């Protein structure tokens, strides 16, 4: 019988990357991470393609409650996603550390389930 393996979400690890943007930002750091990860998972490989994916999936994303904090009816534009990626580039070391910690957690889960081979 095959068991389902619960891989840890990267979001909690990525939240360790400090949000150094101005405090009056429109979009939540977690929301921007989620949209970028979803776009990457959908096969988009650059910010322009991710921004287009966000717009193409607008109705679905809003139905999931992934809109702006205040109104819940708007999604970030291409410029916002570019600024988000730029902010991440300024914190490459923190981002790398967060991803390493997530990868270690995934590896532990796989080892516990006997799926990881050294």
d(CA 10, CA 13): 5
The residues, ordered by sequence, that sit 6+ positions from 37 with a Cβ below 8 Å of its Cβ are 10, 11
Give the pLDDT of the chain (118 residues) as one tens digit per residue. Answer: 567 888 999 999 999 999 988 777 888 899 999 999 999 999 999 999 999 999 999 999 999 888 876 566 789 999 999 999 999 999 999 999 999 999 999 999 998 887 655 5
Q: Residue 71's pLDDT is what?
A: 67
**pTM (2 d.p.):** 0.81
Q: Residue 73's pLDDT is what?
A: 78
Domain boundaries along the sequence of the chain: 28-107
Question: Mind listing the pLDDT tens digit for each residue in 51-72?
Answer: 999 999 999 999 988 887 656 6
The residues, ordered by sequence, that sit 6+ positions from 99 with a Cβ below 8 Å of its Cβ are 10, 13, 14
Check residue 40 and report its DSSP letter. H
Please choose, from the candidates 96, 100, 116, the residue with its C-alpha nearest in 3D space to the C-alpha of residue 5: 116
């Amino acid at each position: 019988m095959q068991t389902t393996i619960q891989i840890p979400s990267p979001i909690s690890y990525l939240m360790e990357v400090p949000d150094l943007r101005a405090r009056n930002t429109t979009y939540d750091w977690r929301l921007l991470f989620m949209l970028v990860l979803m776009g990457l998972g959908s096969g988009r490989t650059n910010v322009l393609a991710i921004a287009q994916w966000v717009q193409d999936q607008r109705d679905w994303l809003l139905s999931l409650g992934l809109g702006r904090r205040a109104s819940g009816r708007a999604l970030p534009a291409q410029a916002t996603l570019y600024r988000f990626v730029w902010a991440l580039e300024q914190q490459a070391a923190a981002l790398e550390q967060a991803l390493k910690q997530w990868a270690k957690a995934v590896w532990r889960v796989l080892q516990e389930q006997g799926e990881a081979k050294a």
